[in-house]
Amino acid sequence: MSAAGRVRAEATGAMRTFLRRRTAVFFTFFFPVVLIVIFAGLVRTQGGSSAGLFSQPTGYYLPAYLATVVLFTPLSRVGSEVARYRADNRFEKLATTPLSRAEWLAAHALVNVVLIVLAAAVLVVALLLTGANFTVSPWLAFFVPAASVLFCGIGAILGSLADGQDGAIAASNGIALPLLFLSETFVQPALFPAWFRPLLNASPLVYFARGVRAATFTGGDGVVFNAGVVLVLAVVAFGVGAALIPWTE
C-alpha cells in the first residue's frame, strides 16, 4: 500500500471514530454558533466607539469566531488522541506496520481539517445571517486548513509530552484559552498595555487573526505576509509534532 493509501485508511478510521462520539460532533459544530448567538445576536457587537470590548462591527470578529474551532478542536482532539495511543501502547503496535509517525499525524490532521472547514463554513453562514458585513475571501480556504494543521502539530507535541490523556486535555485548554484572548481576536490590541503589545507577536494564532481580518474586513493589507508566517509555523509544528510521537521502531 502506498503512503497515500495508508494515510487514507488511517484517516477513514479516525473519522468513523469521531462520528460515533455524538458529544464531540455537537460541540465541534455548534459551540461556535452558540458564541455567535450570544455575541453577535444578544450582545450585538455593533458599537460606535473605537475602544472597549465588542465595540467593533460584527465582521471585525470573524477571526475570533473561526479561532474557536481552528484552535480548540485540533489542540484537544489530537492532544488527547496521542496521549490515549501512548497509554494503550498503540504506537508500539503501529510501529510494526508500514505506517510512519508522520503519516499517522497527517491522517489525523486531515480529519481535523475536514471537520474544521465544515464547522467554519457553518460559522460563516451563521454570521452572514446575523447581517455581519465582511467579505467571504478565497484566502479563508488557505488560512483555515493551514492553521488547523498548525494546531494539530502543537496538539501532537502536547499529547507526546503530557502526563496522560487528562493532562493533555488540561494542557490544551490551558494554552488555548489565553491564546484565544491574547491574539487580536476578541480583544483589540489597543486595550492592552503598551509594554504588552509587542508580546502579542509571540502567539501563533495572532497571524491567523491578522491574515483573516485583512482578507475579509480591513482590505487585504498584510494577507500574504501573515499567510506565509502561518504556513511556516504549520510546517514546523507538524514536523516537531511528528518527531515527538513516541514511535517504537
Q: Give mean pLDDT, residues 220-245.
A: 93
Q: Render pLDDT for 160-201 as a digit per residue (tens, 0 to 9).
A: 888 877 788 888 888 888 898 888 888 888 888 889 888 999
Of 138, 142, 134, nearest in space to 217 by CA: 134
In Å, the largest CA–CA distance within the chain is 61
Residue 19: how many other CB atoms lie within 10 Å: 11
Question: At 195, phi and psi to the nearest 5?
Answer: -70, -25
> CB-based burial of residue 5 (10 Å sphere; 0-12 exposed, 13-18 middle, 19+ buried)?
exposed
Name the CA radius of gyration of the chain, rounded. Answer: 18
Of 218, 177, 216, nearest in space to 62 by CA: 216
Is the overall model pTM greater than 0.75, yes or no? Answer: yes
**Alpha-carbon span 151 to 172, nearest angstrom:** 10
C-alpha grid cell, residue 99: 505506517
**Alpha-carbon span 232 to 111, nearest angstrom:** 21
- pLDDT above 80 (res 226): yes
**Alpha-carbon span 231 to 50, nearest angstrom:** 31
| pLDDT (0 to 100) of residue 44 | 53
* Helices assigned H by DSSP within 37-163: 62-87, 90-94, 101-129, 140-161
**Alpha-carbon span 177 to 172, nearest angstrom:** 9
**Alpha-carbon span 183 to 222, nearest angstrom:** 16
C-alpha grid cell, residue 11: 484517516
Q: What percent of the chain has pLDDT over 90?
A: 28
- pLDDT above 90 (res 107): yes
C-alpha grid cell, residue 42: 444578544
Q: What percent of the chain has pLDDT over 70?
A: 84
Of 99, 115, 101, 116, nearest in space to 4 by CA: 99
Q: What DSSP string describes 133-154?
A: -----TTHHHHHHHHHHHHHHH
* Stretch (H or E) spanning 56: none
Q: Render pLDDT for 27-49 as a digit per residue (tens, 0 to 9).
A: 666 666 666 666 655 555 555 55
